Amino acid sequence: MATDLHAITNSKPLSSFSEQELSEVLKKLKALNLERFKYSRIVDDKETWVEAQGEWEAEVDEEAKYPDIYYSSPYPISFYLKENLGIVTFIYKYRFLYDISNDEEAISAFRKDLLDFVSIFGGTEVYFLADNACDKLSNFLELQAFENTSYETIKTGLLKEFGKPVTDYRSLDYSTLNYGNITEFVFDDFNDLKK
C-alpha cells in the first residue's frame, strides 16, 4: 500500500461561498500555470505517457457543519479548504521529500510552487503529513486534520510528539525512512522565499 504525501497549512476560511468568491479562487489557481501531471497508459500494446486533462474545480460539501471545499485538479496538487486549516494533497508519495533531498533545484521549484499555492488560501507555512502505513503522521492527518481540528492544535501536537521539526530538506536521509516508526517530521515556513 502506498503512503501518500500531504501537508497541512494555516489557511483562512472563505468569508462566503458565493459564486464570485469561488470563481476568484479558481482564477488564482489557474494563474499558477502548474505543469499537468502525466500518467502511463497502454495504447496499441505500447506504453505511452498521457497528460491529465481538465481544469481546477471546486466541489463544495454543504452537508458539513462548515462547508468544506475540495479543489481538484489535473496538476500534482489539490486542496481541501476547511474552516480551521487547509490540507494539501499531492500525487507524490511521502518518500518524495527524501527523493528530492539531494537536488537543490527540485527543492527550490517544489517549495516555490507550494508557497504560491498555499498563499492563495492565506497559508504561510506547512507541516508535511502522510497517510496509510505511516502510523503516527497518518493519525494527525486522518484523525485530526480531516476532522477539522485547528492548525494550531495539530502543530502543538506534532511538536509534543516529535520535538523539533526538520526544516532543511537536505538533511532528510532516505536510508532512515521507516514508515512504521517515523521519528521526524518536516516543517516549512518559506521565510527565505518571502523576502
Closest to 156 in 3D by CA, of 143, 146, 165 = 165
Model pTM score? 0.91
Q: Which three cell numbers stand for residue 195?
A: 523576502
What's the pLDDT at 112? 96
Gap between the terminal Cα atoms of the chain = 40
* pLDDT tens per residue across span 103-135: 999 999 999 999 999 999 999 999 999 887 777
Would you list the DSSP string of 82-120?
Answer: -SS-EEEEEEEETTHHHHTTT-HHHHHHHHHHHHHHHHH
Do residues 137 and 182 lie in contact, with contact meaning Cβ atoms separated by under 8 Å?
Answer: yes
Above pLDDT 70, what percent of the chain?
A: 98
* CB neighbour burial string for 75-94, b if at least 16 within 10 angstroms, e if fewer: bbbbbbbbebbbbbbbbbeb
DSSP 125-157: -EEEEE-TT-HHHHHHHHTTGGGT--HHHHHHH
Give the alpha-carbon dihedral of 69, 72, 78, 83, to 10 degrees: 0
pLDDT of residue 19: 84
